[in-house]
Amino acid sequence: MHNKIVKLGLIGLGSRGRGLTRNLVHIDGIEIVALCDINPAFFDELSEFFDKSQIQKPDFYTDYNEFLARSDIEGVVIATNWITHIPLAIAAMKAGKYVGVEVGGAASIDECWQLVRVSEETKIPCMLLENCCYGKYELMVFNMIKKGLFGEVVHCECGYGHDLRGLAGRKNNRLYNNMHRNGDLYPTHGVGPIAKMLNINRGNRFVSITSMASKAVGLKDWIKKHKDTDYELVNFDFVKGDVVQSLIKCAHGETVLVTHNVTLPRPYSRFNVVHGTNGIYMEDKKGIFIDGKTEDEKWDCIDDYFDEYGHPLWKEFEASGVKGGHGGMDPLTLKAFADSVRNKTQTPIDVYDTATWMAITVLSEQSIYTGSSPIAFPDFTNGKWIDREESVKSIYSLDDVYPKDS
């Protein structure tokens, strides 16, 4: 039990925001004092939820300026649609609140710089709530890299493979982006964990990106199969290619292949691959091969490595009974954010990570629109990446578990 309750508010009460609210109230040491959405449609449902759960009900707002003017809110979770993430995060930091912002890509490089500048000026942290950084396998592979199991890492792959063709039937921000933008619209589920594994912005950085998009026919095909002939998008030519791939080069020579693939039929995958001088991990095979350990030309099952290499944080979480959204990733992410707010410390995913990962959407568009030319990555740390600590003191710093001189 924490002796200091941290007071949080949440903006954006769509399906994600309501799910996060339900997760947050069950995490020890958090009180939700205010909720905000321009559309009050879900205020009654949430109000009932708090009543039924016998938890102190928050106040509801339709104007985020009034919400942010409350002095008791210490941290704000933003779960609105993509193009509002950065403007709202900036407003919240200016109001002195820690920011935890949901995932999505940026709309411009300029807004990424604004995010960084405001965080630096206000000294308020901004954490992308990239829950996949807290995935069981992502954390385990991170741990394996730090313990040297893969030797020197040479190449990684990651991305987002999810059959979301149904989006063609729902008028919302995600659909509009697929209609009008050709790039990796959702890079951070894949890139976040890999960036942590490669110490991006902490001794290493992304230096350039080259992207290519396939033709765009998946959504048109889905509409033809599922909608009436008078559906307004029946003849619409979507701009975003069905498969967008980006190859990122790192300062220390590693390459990272990032795939965005959401408009063709397929099972879910984050395409994770880590390949080093001692071996390889491949998510889609649930497989790992370690030179000299695994039988030649075979894959070991990654689960057989959990006892030895499972991340201490996940082991502790499993021992206490995994619960909460997305197989447990969501509560771990929210808890990490709330702990930083409570302790007034840096967030484990900081503003430089947030800007770098979100920028991939814009940089991939720039590359695609210039015939896959390489685009230089902005250095949002302004040179600080060279000698920043390998990892801020956080779940990603394993110093407590494996002290440096061991």
Give the binding site for ligand NAD (CB under 6 A): 11-17, 36-39, 64, 79-82, 84, 102-104, 131, 172-173, 326
Q: Around Cβ 120, how many Cβ atoms within 10 Å?
A: 13
Type of residue at 82:
W
300-301 and 287-290 beta bridge pairing = antiparallel
Q: Which is nearer to ligand NAD, 172 or 343 (CB)?
A: 172
In angstroms, what is the minimal distance from the CB of 169 to ligand NAD? 14
Output the residue with the shortest Cβ distance to ligand NAD: 14
DSSP element (H, E) containing 249: strand 243-250
**DSSP structure class, residue 400:** T
User: CA geometry: angle at 181 spanning 117 and 234, to 5°?
Assistant: 150
The least CB distance from residue 15 to ligand NAD, in Å, is 4
CB of 172 to ligand NAD, least distance (A): 5
Instruction: For ligand NAD, give the closer residue by CB, 16 or 275.
Output: 16
Is 102 or 254 the residue whose CB approaches ligand NAD more closely? 102
**Which is nearer to ligand NAD, 30 or 145 (by Cβ)?**
30
Cross-strand pairs, 213:
244
Q: At 272, phi and psi to the nearest 5?
A: -65, 130
Question: Minimal distance in Å, beta carbon 139 to ligand NAD?
Answer: 16
Beta strands in 97-226 (DSSP E): 98-101, 126-128, 153-161, 206-213
Angle between helices 312-319 and 136-146 (to 10 degrees): 140
CB of 64 vs ligand NAD, minimal distance in Å: 5
Q: Which is nearer to ligand NAD, 287 or 325 (CB)?
A: 325
| Closer residue to ligand NAD in complex, CB, 156/334 | 334
The beta-strand segments (E) located in 191-278 are 206-213, 243-250, 255-261, 273-276
* Closest distance of CB 108 from ligand NAD, Å: 17
